[in-house]
Amino acid sequence: MTQALTPGQHTQLEMLLVQRQQELERSLHGQLGEQSRAEHARELLLQDGDDEPARDADREVDLARSDRHLDELRQVNEALQRLRGQGYGLCSDCGEAIAFDRLQRQPEALRCLDCQTRLERAQGDRSSHRPL
């Protein structure tokens, strides 16, 4: 069984999460400016240009990047809430403590390595059995 986090580890993980939160917010602000994601998407649709297929591809990449950043920002914010409350560092599946080295690499982790591995295998098994 992994030990509970020490106050120093807790502080270190909070700093990692806050740093990542700030990086994501800066990236999103650089991409979207003061616009919402919907406003930004509408602006991209209204852009003029002669090369519509390339513009469509660029728009899809831009929107996928903002979706990914928004999802990661949500995960980081949720991890900060757990860290400042209760339940941070405990596996959401088995309830055991998540190893500190895992949390250092992925501070928003919800599961211990064993449970995450089982989940990914189960998801892989389901996708490999889908009819074509």
Domain count, the chain: 1
Structural domain containing residue 85: 7-128
Q: Shortest CA distance to 83 belongs to which of 25, 5, 22?
A: 5
99, part of any domain: yes
Q: What is the CATH number of the domain that holds 50?
A: 1.20.120.910
More confident residue, 51 or 17: 17
Q: pLDDT digit string (tens) for 57-103? A: 767 777 888 889 999 999 999 999 999 988 899 999 999 999 999 99
96, part of any domain: yes
2, part of any domain: no
Residue 112: partners with Cβ closer than 8 Å, 6 or more residues away:
2, 91, 93, 94, 96, 97, 98, 99, 102
User: Does pTM top 0.85 for this prediction?
Assistant: no
Q: pLDDT digit string (tens) for 4-19? A: 789 999 999 999 999 9
68, part of any domain: yes
46, part of any domain: yes
76, part of any domain: yes
